[in-house]
């Protein structure tokens, strides 16, 4: 019971950090870095950092597992961040936030389909739907302005799907390999698979004058060491401890952190609708977590 409680605490800690990354990203974007640049530097920094204490084992047990690691680097790294950030170019922030936040629902449904022994209970499904509706109210924050933008909305939904499949594949890999080893592979293959983007679409910005500016360097350090290195390590441990469905439900709460950060730092207003949505979201998350006692990943043997 104590270990599961620590899993919930760590999940809240990670989503709190991830929910605040939008502020750092906005600062970096305003200084001329592209979304791909930000992803590259934060994952490269994370790979170097984790390699300092996880470098003895280089390869998996076979080529199939190695390909699975490449897939993790794409699904949880390069493809996810590209689709999510590019979707903001063609669609509204509200649309993207809501569509990307379908991840917990998709994860719960696909887990129930793939793992037959883990049925999705009505209480759990109802709680997840309630949390999703509360999240939507927080994101809208008093503005009923949702316009269909097919290209951007499809990219946002693709981002949700990539993280869903990342979670399911990560579950399988954590049954066979150490968390640090798998996380290092995600960072390494994430960096490698973003390189074609720089060669074919937009070159990487690597000006020392830009990167060594205190505000740029500080925000990159936060994203690379805090949100990525520590965030991914702890999140992968949380998925192993709580399971894919329980941990994914915490993604809903990121919008609460974003809302508070926007209010405290960017002077964005919080409406009664957003407050009501926050209450509904918390109740829904509590209900969804209560009825899911079988969602645990097997203990790693390495």
- DSSP conformation class of 141: T
Over residues 128-143, the pLDDT tens digits come to: 778 778 777 776 655 6
Which backbone phi and psi does 297 adopt, to 5 degrees? Answer: -85, 145
Residue 302 lies in a domain: no
Q: What is the dihedral of CA 111, 276, 142, 281, to 10 degrees?
A: -10
**Domain assignment of residue 295, yes or no:** no
Please, are residues 99 and 119 in contact by the beta-carbon 8 Å criterion? Answer: no
**Residue 301 covered by a domain:** no
291: enclosing H helix or E strand:
none
Domain assignment of residue 79, yes or no: yes
Q: What sign results for the dihedral spanned by CA atoms 242, 246, 251, 257?
A: negative
Indicate the pTM of the whole model. 0.79
Alpha carbons 300 and 302: distance in angstroms, whole number: 6
Domain that holds residue 184: 6-290
**Residue 265 domain-assigned (yes or no):** yes
Distance CA 24, CA 31 (A): 11
pLDDT digits (tens, 9 = 90+) for 74-87: 999 999 988 887 77
Q: What is the pLDDT of residue 94?
A: 59
H helices then E strands: how many in the chain? 15, 0
Is there a domain that residue 199 lies in? yes
Distance CA 153, CA 49 (A): 35
Q: Is residue 300 part of a domain?
A: no
82: in domain: yes
Q: What are the phi and psi torsion angles at 139 (to 5°)?
A: -65, -45
pLDDT at 96 over 70: no
- Report pLDDT for 44: 96
Q: What is the pLDDT of residues 201-259, one digit of tens each?
A: 999 998 888 999 999 999 999 999 999 999 999 998 988 888 877 787 787 777 677 67
Give me the mean pLDDT over the 19-28 stretch: 78
How many domains does the structure of the chain reveal?
1
């Amino acid at each position: 019971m104590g270990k599961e409680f620590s899993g919930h605490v760590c999940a809240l800690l990670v989503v709190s950090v991830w929910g605040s990354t939008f502020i750092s990203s906005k600062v970096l974007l305003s200084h001329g870095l592209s979304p791909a640049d930000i992803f590259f530097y934060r994952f490269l920094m994370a790979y170097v950092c984790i390699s300092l204490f996880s470098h003895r084992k280089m390869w998996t047990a076979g080529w199939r597992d190695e390909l699975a690691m490449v897939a993790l680097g794409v699904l949880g790294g390069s493809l996810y961040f590209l689709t999510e950030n590019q979707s903001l170019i063609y669609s509204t922030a509200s649309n993207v936030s809501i569509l990307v936040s379908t991840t917990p629902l998709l994860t719960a449904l696909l887990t129930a389909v793939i793992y037959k022994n883990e049925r999705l209970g009505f209480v759990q499904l109802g709680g997840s739907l309630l949390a999703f509706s509360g999240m939507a109210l927080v994101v809208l924050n008093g503005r009923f302005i949702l316009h269909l933008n097919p290209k951007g909305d499809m990219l946002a939904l693709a981002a949700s799907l990539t993280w869903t499949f990342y979670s399911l594949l990560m579950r399988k890999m954590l049954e066979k390999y150490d968390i640090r080893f798998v996380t290092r592979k995600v960072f390494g293959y994430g960096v490698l698979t973003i390189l074609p983007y720089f060669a074919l679409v937009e070159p990487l910005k690597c000006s020392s004058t830009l990167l060594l500016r205190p505000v740029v360097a500080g925000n990159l350090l936060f994203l690379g060491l805090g949100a990525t290195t520590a965030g991914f390590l702890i999140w992968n441990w949380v998925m192993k401890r709580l399971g894919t469905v329980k941990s994914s439900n915490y993604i809903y709460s990121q919008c609460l952190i974003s809302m508070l950060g926007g209010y405290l730092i960017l002077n964005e207003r919080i409406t009664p609708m957003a407050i009501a949505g926050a209450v509904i979201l918390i109740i829904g998350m509590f209900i969804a977590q209560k009825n899911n006692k079988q969602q645990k990943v097997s203990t790693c043997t390495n």
